[in-house]
A and B are shown apart, each in its own frame.
Chain A
Amino acid sequence: MIVVGGLKVGAIYSLAALGIVVIYKATRVVNFAHGAFVLAGAYATYGVVEAVGLGYWPAYAIVPLATGVLAAAVEMIVLRPIRRADIFALITSTIFIGIGLSEIYRLVQNTEMLGVRNPVSGRPIFIGDVIITKEQIWVFGGALLSSLIGLAIFGYAPLGRGLRALAANPRGAVLCGYSIDGMNAMAWFLGGALAGLAGVFAAPSSGVSPELAVSMITAGFVAAVIGGFDSLRGALFGGLILGVAQTLAAAYISSATANAASFLLLFVVLMWRPEGLFPEAKIRDV
């Protein structure tokens, strides 16, 4: 039962981590503003579902589009001029872009926490002793499906081929007719859209607040590290592992240790397997 709850949270983490990895693979920038993109997605969900009252189905389409555009705009307006600068300037910029977006949210919306209703309701399902709510199934399934779609786009669609070419050899990609500017913007769009989806799925259970941004960047980063940072599949599994580990720690030790568990995982993976549990090369052999 706990594991099921963990998988639900983990699937959301996977989505967040996937976005970080997509952006990192294509542009070599670790986007510390990613948590704020998830927050933006959750806030947009609140707007669509609660404020306008359109319900959930439009949210699944509108929100990722909106956060994708937001991310692409950040790349084009803020990061493009300093792309040639060193990695220090780029990473620092994303940190402050993230904080800035959270601050904008805080200024626009004075309440600390906005609630969003559940997408599905109904009686939980009993399988033996295990109680599974429909919401858990919905979020887990939906988030996992979104992740797989993201994976498929990056892995098989023509767009993904360009992004992978950019990741492997930027100059070569340009020679083959890909536009670096366009591809960078596309990578950020795709990453932002994945963050937005994470926001849609996270909104009902965790609410909308700046806290969400911090917890999502942490979890997304840790999940990406577990997966090796360079591997989309790794990020997917990393998120699930992290979700289960956190939920187990919270259930069996104390709720305060949930964060400690993710830090411990991060530390252990970085120290003993900096290439991650699912390094890209290994998957390529399969």
Chain B
Amino acid sequence: MSRGRLRALGPILAPSGSLLAVAIVGLLLDTYWQYVMAISISAAVIGGALAMLVGYARCITLTTGAMLAIGAYASTLPVVHAGVPFLAALLFATALGAVAGLVLAIPGVRFRSHNLAMITFVFQAVVIIILRESKTLTGGAEGIHVPPPVIFGLSFSNDANFLLLCGALFALVILPIAVLLAGPFGKNLRAIAANENAARAFGIDVRRYLIAAFTWSSAVIAFAGAVSAPRFRIIDPDSYGLMTSIFTLTYPIIGGMGSIWGGLVGGGVLRLFPELLRPLADYIDLAFCVLVVGTLTFFPDGLASAVWTVGRRGRKPSTGSAAIPGVAVARIAELSSATGFAPPTHGGRHGADAPVLTIESVSRSYGALRAVDGVSLSIASGALHGLMGPNGAGKTTLFNLVSGFVRADRGRVLLSGVSLENVPIERRIGLGMTRTFQHAATFQRLSCLDNVMIGLGRNTVFEGTSRSIAAALDRESFRAERRTALSALAAVGLGARADDMASALSLGDQRRLEIARAIASRPRIILLDEPVSGVSAEEAHRLRELLLAVNRELGIAMVVIEHNIRFLVSLCDRISVMSEGKVIAEGDAAAMVDDPRVRKVYFGEREVA
């Protein structure tokens, strides 16, 4: 195995390794500690599973207790009532957990924040009511006796071998979570939490990702519930109640939302307190509440990661922009050769006239307001087209119509001759169109490199999963994606900041990052919504050079909304002027500024004011 492959696999195997290690260390201790260790590592697995849903996707779930109950009952009942072997029952329980997650998530992910939290709360309550009321099957509120697990004739009935069984099974089940969270799947969840619209524009189907996250984490939690049920001897619905859900929620929050480790460590450590501090049991719950609120207030990234950061304070992030225009322009040529895409046959601003984007009398009204009113526009391949007009003229709405965030009442949009009418937002990047946003919409809690890798657009749930596996195995396909993303970063002058968090960048550099993300997939056209708003005149000049170079070297057409007229005129060949939802003038960029119609709606306003 090559060294690079080991380096990729190491962090992914580490969670499994540490669960096993804790179990093995436990074997050296007495039976009480073996019992405590078994509890601790099962809580660690629950925390790891919640890291996906709570830490990465930032969903509030109050259903962990119910999922544990589903796992516990679905593994116990077949063993007790039908004599099914333990392993088969365990598999059944895990599958049922996955189904439960799916059933919960399909209606649930239509909502976010408090409504989603409430739906998970309802699910939790309903599961417990069902378990309590189905007395003949589950023993009702009195509970049911759970026999020790038997695998191939071997009974795991004492604390030592039960701990070993837990260690082995949990090491196995945490592996898929570790792979997904470390790879593009986890990063896409992060992107969703950071900015759903930007995530969708780059091909991330938000609902499907959240459904997948609910399904995975529910399956793993049900697995943990099934494996740990025999330890309790008797299980009853009330030990899986709402309070279980709420206190498991503390694991990833206190541990830290930044990685799977927050959940693992949070679960493993926090679950120890109620066991080890029995005399103080009355105060533990209150202490947890104080700890959670304190953590959210003072260490939003979690206590574990706060300790971690203090330990690494020596290493400062590199500061200052590495953006040197000359270098950047040269690097763009590299990008065009590195990606392996065929160079465009008609590159540059004087490219072929076949329209890449055609807008045909598109309209959109909000009540009585006609935001976009019969707009037609044709953008030639490789063209630089400006869009200007006073605030409220409908420019951004037009962008939203083209990129799919808003549906047109009338008219249609064609991309390279293909109607976009029934193409969902997430699929439009695959057809060669990307965009930037009026308010810089980078994914804050991801590195610059990860931002651009999302820009490659291979982000369906299936692709996210398979690419996560490819990343874990350090496959050549994934290394090639990395190289492409790095060259896109280098092209915009951010090559030195690949590993820095996007949130650490200045506004101008955030705009660059957005451009890198938008060109990484080598689209045919980019929609740029106010690319230089809020940046200095000097930076605006550099961004103009960058956009011109991108256009010249990669042949990417651009439609640019901008209030900075000087910037727009010096960048674009043609300009359309919008006012009150209509295009009132279109023509050569320089000529537009002097056009009397434009002066009337645009500059006229300024004279009046």
Q: Please determine whether chains A and B interact with each other in the same assembly.
A: yes
Contact string against B for A residues 86-112, beta-carbon threshold 8 Å, 1 for contact and 0 otherwise: 111101110111011001101100000
Which residue of chain B lies nearest to A80 when distances are taken between CB atoms in the complex?
B297
Is the C-beta of B115 less than 8 angstroms from some C-beta in chain A?
yes
Q: Name the one of A92, A225, A267 contacting B292, with C-beta atoms under 8 angstroms.
A: A92
Q: Hey, which chain B residues are within 8 Å of A32, CB to CB? A: 114, 117
Interchain CB contact under 8 A, B58 and A221: no
Residue with the greatest number of chain B CB neighbours at <10 A, chosen from A92, A93, A214 = A92
Is the C-beta of A125 less than 8 angstroms from some C-beta in chain B?
no
How distant is A101 from chain B, measured CB to nearest CB, in Å?
9
Interchain CB contact under 8 A, B118 and A92: no
Q: Hey, which chain A residues are within 8 Å of B58, CB to CB? A: 86, 88
Q: Name the one of A99, A107, A266 contacting B283, with C-beta atoms under 8 angstroms.
A: A107
Which residue of chain A lies nearest to B284 when distances are taken between CB atoms in the complex?
A103
Interface size on B, residues (CB 8 A): 35
Q: Hey, which chain A residues are within 8 Å of B300, CB to CB? A: 82, 85, 89
Interchain CB contact under 8 A, A270 and B119: yes
Is the C-beta of A78 less than 8 angstroms from some C-beta in chain B?
yes
How distant is A271 from chain B, measured CB to nearest CB, in Å?
6
- Known contacts A30-B113, A92-B253, A263-B122; is A99 also within 8 Å of B296 by CB? no
Q: Name the one of B114, B246, B286, B297 contacting A91, with C-beta atoms under 8 angstroms.
A: B114
Query: Which stretch of B125-133, B214-222, B533-541 is in the interface?
Result: B125-133
Interchain CB contact under 8 A, A103 and B289: yes
Q: Hey, which chain B residues are within 8 Å of A263, CB to CB? A: 122, 125-126
Interchain CB contact under 8 A, A97 and B293: yes
Interchain CB contact under 8 A, B249 and A271: no
- Known contacts A92-B292, A266-B118; is A81 also within 8 Å of B297 by CB? yes
Interchain CB contact under 8 A, B286 and A104: yes
* Distance, CA A95 to CA B54, complexed state (A): 14
Q: Hey, which chain A residues are within 8 Å of B290, CB to CB? A: 100
Which residue of chain B lies nearest to A88 when distances are taken between CB atoms in the complex?
B58
Interchain CB contact under 8 A, B253 and A256: no
Interchain CB contact under 8 A, B60 and A103: no
* Distance, CA A271 to CA B106, complexed state (A): 11
Is the C-beta of A260 less than 8 angstroms from some C-beta in chain B?
yes
Is the C-beta of A259 less than 8 angstroms from some C-beta in chain B?
yes
Contact string against A for B residues 266-289, beta-carbon threshold 8 Å, 1 for contact and 0 otherwise: 000000000000000011011011
Contact string against B for A residues 36-77, beta-carbon threshold 8 Å, 1 for contact and 0 otherwise: 000000000000000000000000000000000000000000
- Known contacts A91-B60, A270-B119; is A96 also within 8 Å of B293 by CB? yes
* Distance, CA A88 to CA B58, complexed state (A): 7
Q: Hey, which chain A residues are within 8 Å of B296, CB to CB? A: 82, 85, 89, 92-93
How distant is B369 from chain A, measured CB to nearest CB, in Å?
15
Is the C-beta of B242 less than 8 angstroms from some C-beta in chain A?
yes
Q: Name the one of B111, B125, B242, B292 contacting A259, with C-beta atoms under 8 angstroms.
A: B125
Interchain CB contact under 8 A, B122 and A100: no
Q: Hey, which chain A residues are within 8 Å of B125, CB to CB? A: 259, 263
How distant is B291 from chain A, measured CB to nearest CB, in Å?
9
Is the C-beta of B392 less than 8 angstroms from some C-beta in chain A?
no
Interchain CB contact under 8 A, A99 and B60: no
* Distance, CA A100 to CA B111, complexed state (A): 27
- Known contacts A91-B113, A92-B253, A266-B118; is A100 also within 8 Å of B133 by CB? no
Q: Hey, which chain B residues are within 8 Å of A100, CB to CB? A: 286, 289-290, 293
* Distance, CA A86 to CA B117, complexed state (A): 15
How distant is A102 from chain B, measured CB to nearest CB, in Å?
9
Q: Hey, which chain A residues are within 8 Å of B60, CB to CB? A: 88, 91-92, 95
Is the C-beta of B317 less than 8 angstroms from some C-beta in chain A?
no
Q: Hey, which chain A residues are within 8 Å of B282, CB to CB? A: 106-107
* Distance, CA A260 to CA B114, complexed state (A): 20
Q: Hey, which chain B residues are within 8 Å of A225, CB to CB? A: 115, 118
Q: Name the one of A93, A106, A267 contacting B293, with C-beta atoms under 8 angstroms.
A: A93
* Distance, CA A93 to CA B249, complexed state (A): 11
Which residue of chain A lies nearest to B133 when distances are taken between CB atoms in the complex?
A256
Q: Hey, which chain A residues are within 8 Å of B115, CB to CB? A: 225, 270, 274
Interchain CB contact under 8 A, B242 and A214: yes
Is the C-beta of B107 less than 8 angstroms from some C-beta in chain A?
yes
Q: Name the one of B122, B246, B285 contacting A267, with C-beta atoms under 8 angstroms.
A: B122
* Distance, CA A172 to CA B249, complexed state (A): 37
Q: Hey, which chain B residues are within 8 Å of A82, CB to CB? A: 296-297, 300
* Distance, CA A253 to CA B293, complexed state (A): 41
How distant is A259 from chain B, measured CB to nearest CB, in Å?
7
How distant is B161 from chain A, measured CB to nearest CB, in Å?
37
Q: Hey, which chain A residues are within 8 Å of B122, CB to CB? A: 263, 266-267
Q: Hey, which chain B residues are within 8 Å of A87, CB to CB? A: 113
* Distance, CA A266 to CA B118, complexed state (A): 9
Q: Hey, which chain B residues are within 8 Å of A91, CB to CB? A: 60, 113-114, 117
| A residues at B contact (CB < 8 Å) | 30, 32, 78, 81-82, 85-89, 91-93, 95-97, 99-100, 103-104, 106-107, 214, 218, 221, 225, 256, 259-260, 263, 266-267, 270-271, 274
| B residues at A contact (CB < 8 Å) | 58, 60, 107, 110-111, 113-115, 117-119, 121-122, 125-126, 129, 133, 242-243, 246, 249-250, 253, 282-283, 285-286, 288-290, 292-293, 296-297, 300
- Top 5 A-B pairs ranked by shortest CB distance? A100-B289, A30-B114, A103-B286, A96-B292, A96-B289
Q: List 11 A-B contacts (CB under 8 A).
A: A30-B113, A30-B114, A32-B114, A86-B58, A88-B113, A91-B113, A92-B249, A93-B297, A97-B289, A97-B293, A256-B133
